[in-house]
Amino acid sequence: GHMKEGSDASAKSLIVDISAQEKLYLDGKVYKLDDLLTELAKKVKQTKDTRVYVNCDRKVSSGMLVKVIDTIKYVAGVEHVI
Dump pLDDT digits (tens) for 25-65: 999 999 999 999 999 999 999 988 889 999 999 999 999 99
Please state whether beta strands 29-31 and 51-56 pair in parallel, antiparallel, or not at all (unpaired).
unpaired
pTM of the predicted model as reported, rounded to 2 decimal places: 0.80
Does 5 have pLDDT greater than 50? no
